[in-house]
Structures are given as C-alpha cells and as structure tokens.
Structure 1
Amino acid sequence: MGCGCNKNRQQYEVVTADGRIAYTTPSKPAADAVAKRYQGATVREKGKPQTAQTTGDPR
C-alpha cells in the first residue's frame, strides 16, 4: 500500500504571464518568492480552475 502523505496537502503553482506553470510547491511563501522572479507571474492553488471574468450584458 502506498504512502498517503500528500493526499490532502494543498499545493500552489506559479503561473507565468504566458500561462506556463513554472513551479509547484506546498509552501505558499516559497511560491510567492518564486513568482517575484517572473514578471507578470501569479500564484494559484493547484487544481482550482481559473474563472473567466465576464463583462457586459450576460444574455
């Protein structure tokens, strides 16, 4: 039976401005530090989809 150490552990991804995932870590401070090295990079929780923002009339 395999280890369940990372089963419920939150992961963070550093996503560059062009949409490439540059780094994945369980540490939010480490992800923030790495994101500072890439211009326009963002930190998001792994596995959560990014929602598109809508503008105008939703019809």
Structure 2
Amino acid sequence: MTTAKKCPMCGKPRKEEHTPFCSPRCRDRDLAKWLDDGYAIPGEPARVPTGEEDEEY
C-alpha cells in the first residue's frame, strides 16, 4: 500500500504541477508566510552592521 504525499499547507494530495503543494493557492500561502517572517530558523539572531564598527562580518 502506498500513501500519496500530502500538501504541507492543507493536507490534500499533492499535484505534480504544484509540487510540493496541491494548488497555486497553497503555494502562495507558503510564500506569504516566508515573506511575513512566519518561519524561523533556530539560532542566535544575526548581527546587523551599523557602520560605526570596524569589524568585518
């Protein structure tokens, strides 16, 4: 028995033309989540250079 892979946004079966999503809507929802900082990678926050420091990053 094989199980179809599911869309990571809504859980419906994936469609080849939108892999790994089921539709353009789910693909766009995922992109919006990335753009709105909805996803985060664990770790220390990145230091932002202020221009006043002589250190190179």
> Could you tell me the TM-score, scaled by structure 1's length?
0.29
The answer to which structure, 1 or 2, has the higher relative contact order (CA under 8 A, 6+ apart) is 1
Greater share of residues in helix: 2
Structure exhibiting the larger radius of gyration computed from Cα positions: 2
Q: Normalised by the size of structure 2, how large is the TM-score?
A: 0.30
